[in-house]
Amino acid sequence: MKISELPIEDRPREKALKLGIGALSDAELLALLIGKGSRGVSALELSYKMLNDFGTLSSLCNASLPELSSYPGIKGVKSIELMATFEISKRLHLEEGKYNRYSPDELHKYFKRKDHSFEAAYVFGLDGRGNIKAEKMVMQGGASKLQLGTKDILMTVMRLGYSRFVLVHNHTSNVPLPSKSDIEFTASLQNEAASLSLRLFDHLVVAKDSYFSFLENGLI
């Protein structure tokens, strides 16, 4: 059914104007971003299909450009516009967290929204009160192995301008237990950081459904 065929009070734009943007469902909000559907498929119908295919709005926000572009009516500029909107929401989520004290659990919740098909490492700078103030990806690996290097990590920390930092990297296996090399690397990074008057506050190994904190487990 075309949106124009819906009762006026059920059309996303009119509903938002009357009840406020917060009254719209995920599909209705997505339909507003899409704007126009394709031949025979309305923007709202397309929104329901996309959400059904990805399962959750969070998963859709992590969709790749080819995945978005595979839908009729979501081509070229429109797919880029959707990705830009999704990226803004992720950054706003992180900005909100930057004013809270570091929490392994909260940071893991943030990382659950990222792509877990490849391994990557991030550095988070902490202020004197333990608040997260900066984020930077330091390296990206393949689908199974990430080669961590202390030099790149510590240089990134110094560029961020914070003396305390958290290192986060993910395991694509969905098993966050650190390997022997993870433990040895963490000890080496901690020592090298101390020699530069920097402090490794925590090393968080994350998987999609769980995490391992070196700090919580007494390894830092």
What number does CATH give the domain 101-213?
Answer: 3.40.140.10
pLDDT of residue 1: 45
Look at the pTM and tell me if it is higher than 0.75: no
pLDDT of residue 94: 61
* pLDDT tens string 186-218: 999 999 999 999 999 999 999 888 999 999 999
How far is Cα 90 from Cα 62, in angstroms, rounded to an integer? 10
Neighbours of 98 (CB within 10 A): 15
State the residue for tokens 């830009």: 84
How far is Cα 115 from Cα 156, in angstroms, rounded to an integer? 22
Dihedrals phi, psi of 45, to nearest 5 degrees: -65, -40
Looking at per-residue pLDDT, the higher value among 62 and 48 belongs to 48
Residues with Cβ < 8 Å from 156, sequence gap 6 or more? 123, 136, 138
In this structure, of 65-69, 109-113, 152-156, the range with the lowest mean pLDDT score is: 109-113
- Per CATH, the architecture of 3-95 is what? Orthogonal Bundle (1.10)
Confidence label for 38 from pLDDT (cuts 50, 70 and 90): confident
- Name the token pair of 125: 């700078």
How far is Cα 162 from Cα 199, in angstroms, rounded to an integer? 9
pLDDT of residue 86: 86
Q: Where are the domains of the chain?
A: 3-95, 101-213
pLDDT of residue 99: 47
How far is Cα 47 from Cα 21, in angstroms, rounded to an integer? 16
* pLDDT tens string 119-170: 888 999 998 888 888 888 888 765 445 567 888 899 999 988 899 999 999 8
Dihedrals phi, psi of 123, to nearest 5 degrees: -115, 135
Do β-strands 199-206 and 164-170 pair in parallel, antiparallel, or remain unpaired?
A: parallel
pLDDT of residue 6: 53
How far is Cα 111 from Cα 170, in angstroms, rounded to an integer? 9
Give one word for 21, left, alpha or beta, with left for phi > 0 and alpha for psi -120 to 50: alpha
